[in-house]
Structure 1
Amino acid sequence: MADDNAPMPSPTPERAGQNGNSRGASLVKQGSILSLLTLGSRIAGLVREMVKAALLGTSPLSDAFSVAFMIPNLFRRLFAEGSIAVAFIPTFKGYLIEDNKEKTKDFLSSFITLLTFLVTLVVLLGIALTPLLVPIFSLKELNETILLTQIMFPFLALISFAAFLQGILNSHSIFAPSGFAPIVLNVVIILCSYGLSPLLGNPARAMAVGVLIGGTLQCLIQWPAVYRLGYRISFSSMKKAFTNPGTRTVLRLVGPTIVGMAAYQLNDLVSTALAGRAGPGVVSSLQYSLRLQELFLGIFAVSIGTVLLPDLAGYAKKGQWAEYNQRLITAMDIIALITIPVTIFSLQQGEVIIRLLFQANSFNEESVALTKNAFTYHIVGLFFIAINRILAPAFYAQSDSKSPTLAGILSFFVNMILAALLVGPMKGGGVALALTLASMVNTVFLLLFLRRNPQVAVGRAVASALGYTTKLAVFSGLAVLPLVWLSPRLLSIFQGRGRLIGYGMPLLINTLVFGVIGAALLVLSKDKQALYIAKSLKRRF
């Protein structure tokens, strides 16, 4: 890859076509590094949920922890992922291209001062207002939910600082420390769940303390890498923080996003409140289902989106639209290659996956049924959620935060209406289906809005994605057909040999059969993106 700090002429379309393979391989290579770490984080997060399932199941106490952890995470999307992705990285990338160290230092000092002021204010207000907010969820463990929420609210500040450090590293194409940090968070929560439970009265409180300790370590792990880059970040005066040109740019970009983020957070709040009224365990089952979905998203979608944003921002600022378009098309195709097979396989093997991962102790047959109901409808939306993770950075790279905000608001209304209509007859499955359909609507609007920039080849990207998605759906359907006959027979053969063998061996064999057939079909069709990934893995191993 070319140095993003060096000026480069815009390539001709012919050159872009000739270099397409190297760009795709580069994206896969960068994405694969972060994907391995993100996958490790998702696995650790899944183990965390397995521990939670074993200790709390879908009990009222489990619902209490789920809601308490969700509330500070709502604001996290605004101060961490939201502000960093939407505004900080594109702005910081501009300073790197300008290569003025003094201006860059002033911007970083001003930004961290502004971030510290805002998150501290929100954390203090959040802790004070928690007793007024929690009752809307209609949970049985009201007092415990309030306590857990107040314990975990400072996590917002910790994760915001961690995201700031991640933004600096990602802008320099350094992804390993940021990818490793969430693994530490999940491991600490797991250790605290068992180690602190006897001291704190219940596992939920122990996990809440683990969230704070893990969040602190997320910051500390990334700091040495930032220090090695030569950054010595200090605080500035509040006046300087608000008047710095860079922070003004950030505030201008984040401004429209606040509306969209507010809609998104209200979306989560209302959906969770509806789920809370649908019966005990529904909130927790939705969280277990989402954890599985996030595991699959972590295989590539989150990583590709993280790697993509700094690259697209650099191309957009330099006017390298041929590079920009090819990068975006390659990312969308890779997302399809991952999510379509995973979706079809998971629809067939969903119950086996849930029983293998969660069914123990407090996680009973009712818990399995509730989680499977939610997972069936969540997993159908995997492709659209993953594509949205790719399309949003395409706007942020152009310093356009208004378009994805508007798309988010429109999808929010769709989600709210559908969730209210479907939660009654379908319980948790209705809330999950509403999210899937709203994600689909969000994708459509993002593509429509992206067309407004004539430099972006939206038509070519959509045509490529539709054709490739159709091909993958057909291949995945062919690969899953043998499992319809094989899976019940394998479950019968391994029945009564414990959860790990009884469900693990059938799932492993089914995965191998599905994978071999799918890979054979891709090889026979000489699939371009699969070849990129294979070559990248071959070079690494």
Structure 2
Amino acid sequence: MSSSVRSLVRHGSALSLLTLVSRVLGLVREMTKAALLGTSALSDAFSVAFLIPNLFRRLFAEGSISVAFIPTFKEYLLENDQGKIREFLSSICTFLTFFVTLAVMAGILFTPLLVPIFGIEEFDETVWLTRLMFPFLAFISLAAFFQGILNSVRIFTPSGLAPILLNLVTILCAYGLSPFTANPARAMAVGILLGGFLEAAIQFPFVLKMGFRFSFTGLKRAMRNPGTQAVLKLIGPTIIGMAAYQLNDLVSTALAGNAGEGVVSSLQYSLRLQELILGIFAVSIGTVLLPDLAEDAKTACWERYNQRLLSAMDIIALITIPVTFFSLAQGETLVRLLFQTRSFDEESVRLTRAAFTFHIPGLFFIALNRILAPAFYAQSDSKSPTLAGLLSFGVNMILAAILAGPLQGAGIALALSLAGAVNTALLLFFLRRNPHIAVGTVLRSVLGYALKVALFSAIAVAPVLWVSPRLRTAFSGSGRLAAQGIPLGVSLVIFTAVGLFLLVITGDKQVGAIIRMFRKGGSS
């Protein structure tokens, strides 16, 4: 099992480091938005305007690439027929460009019909910002296409660099262009658009360097390509599931928009904190895991498939469960340190802290879903995760509608966390249908490991709960960075030291494998 851990850590470490930089910059981007817009109506307008093209991005870009393109492209790579590879890539490029262009044009045209759903006060500004950012969908879809090509041949660095550029350009534009635009939200929107273009531009040279060539072809010919048809067959159920997932976001945002001013933005700030950890580890592991699982499934190496899946789930437990305990103990300190400045007042802290308290318990399940979904995609099975997504979507909508009234943003966050747990249970249940996958053995092992990590995390957080209030009192007269940052930093050191001590003295298998890998310099 340790070899699987070393493989995941070795291949995922560079991507995780780049994703860490990207997520930190993404957090800085949210801090920039918090400083310039707070939780105002204009901040809600920007959040909704960026959300709408993002919904379509997940349909055309990230979801479709991971679900359908990589497993299909992997078959072409194993066959190693360069002519067929070029024809397949040309067909996909043509198909993607045509339909994404139609989506962008339709989105710009029908934006005034979409915005009223969210109950936003700044209607005209939201329409303007949405139309400005809709071409982002085209750029990010091409970027996802290039990422799928590179990830299929185990090249992950360019796709890790791409979002760094997006966040960096958005931050620079927010401060640099704000004096020259009607408001800071428009400056940030320009940054989003430029960043999307750069995400595609930085990856394209690497695609060419790997020797992959493709061009536009006739749409009819592209649609008739066997690879395109295979991709579309896989995408079909996924589009339904992704549409439900996006509708989930739409309805949640609409409920938040009608729950009061600032609720939409507070949910976005809270999710950014959650996604900082989720993106660094779960997304990186899932990205690295998919091509390997796809190859194992295509070559019927089921023992290795099971080992990779179990190792990935154990690593997710080792990371997300301690983060959850620490975040629950230090949530308000995190929110104040990262966001409380200028327009982000005490009410903003209250709203964001409440949402974060109920978002973070779902971290473990959402991270597991990022690992379990590729386990299906690797088998060219997109129907099972789609069905699980639809059912969990229903759970989320019912709970959000019930809880949004009494709990506002916290209720919507709690609904999302509970729906994530339902999705995990359904994915594990559906995975049992493949007799080659030892779901029972994997589940027992992961549950036992998760309970151990949860116990150690509870022990490690106890001294943090004792020392943290005293540290905050001691530094209360200092500036924000010292008053919040020093208590948080000291608490993190204590929590990490106690947790690692418990793991090491009990001979934890995952920690041991990682330590051995680094002792060998990562060469094994």
Fold similarity call, TM over 0.5: yes
User: Which of these residues, 2, 8, 11, is aligned with residue 30 of structure 1?
Assistant: 11
> 1:23 deviation in Å?
2.3
1:450-495 CA-to-partner distances (Å, cap 9, x unmatched) read 0000011111111111000000000000000001110000001111
2:225 match: 244
1:412 matched to 2:393? The reply is yes
1:515 match: 496
1:493 matched to 2:471? The reply is no
User: Which of these residues, 55, 60, 71, is aligned with residue 74 of structure 1?
Assistant: 55
| Aligned pairs for 1:425-440 within 5 A | 425-440=406-421
Q: Using the alignment, how far apart are the partners of 1:431 and 1:516 within structure 2?
A: 34
| Aligned pairs for 1:161-176 within 5 A | 161-176=142-157
Letter matched to residue 166 of structure 2: L
Unaligned runs of 5+ in 2: none
1:4 match: none
User: Which of these residues, 28, 32, 38, is aligned with residue 51 of structure 1?
Assistant: 32
1:86 matched to 2:67? The reply is yes
Letter matched to residue 471 of structure 2: L
1:177 matched to 2:158? The reply is yes
Q: Using the alignment, how far apart are the partners of 2:111 and 2:254 within structure 1?
A: 15
2:505 match: 524
Q: Using the alignment, how far apart are the partners of 1:535 and 1:174 within structure 2?
A: 24
1:160 match: 141
Q: Using the alignment, how far apart are the partners of 2:471 and 2:192 within structure 1?
A: 39
Q: Using the alignment, how far apart are the partners of 2:222 and 2:186 within structure 1?
A: 37
| Aligned pairs for 1:224-235 within 5 A | 224-235=205-216
Q: Using the alignment, how far apart are the partners of 2:162 and 2:63 within structure 1?
A: 18
1:343-365 CA-to-partner distances (Å, cap 9, x unmatched) read 00000000000000000000000
Q: Using the alignment, how far apart are the partners of 1:23 and 1:260 within structure 2?
A: 30
1:327 match: 308
> 1:537 deviation in Å?
4.1
Q: Using the alignment, how far apart are the partners of 1:42 and 1:145 within structure 2?
A: 25
- 3-state DSSP of counterpart to 2:217: coil
C-alpha contact 1:32 1:300 (8 A) present in aligned 2: no
C-alpha contact 1:152 1:208 (8 A) present in aligned 2: yes
The change in CA–CA distance for 1:495 and 1:208 in structure 2 (over 3 A counts) is same
2:122 match: 141
1:444 matched to 2:425? The reply is yes
1:178-202 CA-to-partner distances (Å, cap 9, x unmatched) read 0011011000000000111111111
1:379 matched to 2:360? The reply is yes
> 1:138 deviation in Å?
0.7
1:127 match: 108
1:268-292 CA-to-partner distances (Å, cap 9, x unmatched) read 1111000000000000000000000
> 1:299 deviation in Å?
2.6
> 1:152 deviation in Å?
0.5
- 3-state DSSP of counterpart to 1:381: helix
Q: Using the alignment, how far apart are the partners of 1:112 and 1:312 within structure 2?
A: 25
Q: Using the alignment, how far apart are the partners of 1:92 and 1:168 within structure 2?
A: 8
1:6 match: none
User: Which of these residues, 270, 280, 294, is aligned with residue 275 of structure 2?
Assistant: 294
> 1:517 deviation in Å?
0.3
1:255 matched to 2:217? The reply is no
| Aligned pairs for 1:393-408 within 5 A | 393-408=374-389
1:457 match: 438
Q: How many residues align?
A: 522
User: Which of these residues, 76, 82, 86, is aligned with residue 101 of structure 1?
Assistant: 82
1:267 match: 248
> 1:532 deviation in Å?
2.4
2:183 match: 202
Q: Using the alignment, how far apart are the partners of 1:253 and 1:399 within structure 2?
A: 7
Letter matched to residue 305 of structure 2: Y
The change in CA–CA distance for 1:479 and 1:403 in structure 2 (over 3 A counts) is same
- 3-state DSSP of counterpart to 2:214: coil
Q: Using the alignment, how far apart are the partners of 1:81 and 1:55 within structure 2?
A: 30
Q: Using the alignment, how far apart are the partners of 1:275 and 1:133 within structure 2?
A: 16
Q: After alignment, is 507-516 or 458-467 more displaced? A: 458-467
Q: After alignment, is 456-465 or 472-481 more displaced? A: 456-465
C-alpha contact 2:5 2:514 (8 A) present in aligned 1: no
Q: Using the alignment, how far apart are the partners of 1:112 and 1:382 within structure 2?
A: 35
Letter matched to residue 177 of structure 1: P
1:48-107 CA-to-partner distances (Å, cap 9, x unmatched) read 000000000000000000000000100111111111001000000000011111100000
> 1:225 deviation in Å?
1.1
- 3-state DSSP of counterpart to 1:196: helix
C-alpha contact 1:316 1:397 (8 A) present in aligned 2: yes
Q: Using the alignment, how far apart are the partners of 1:478 and 1:21 within structure 2?
A: 26
Q: Using the alignment, how far apart are the partners of 2:469 and 2:337 within structure 1?
A: 15
Q: Percent identity?
A: 67
TM-score w.r.t. length of structure 2: 0.99
Q: Using the alignment, how far apart are the partners of 1:69 and 1:534 within structure 2?
A: 41
- 3-state DSSP of counterpart to 1:399: coil
C-alpha contact 2:42 2:122 (8 A) present in aligned 1: yes
Letter matched to residue 196 of structure 1: L
1:424 matched to 2:411? The reply is no
> 1:540 deviation in Å?
5.3
Q: Using the alignment, how far apart are the partners of 1:126 and 1:94 within structure 2?
A: 34
Letter matched to residue 252 of structure 2: S
> 1:21 deviation in Å?
2.4
1:17 match: none
C-alpha contact 1:281 1:367 (8 A) present in aligned 2: yes
TM-score w.r.t. length of structure 1: 0.96
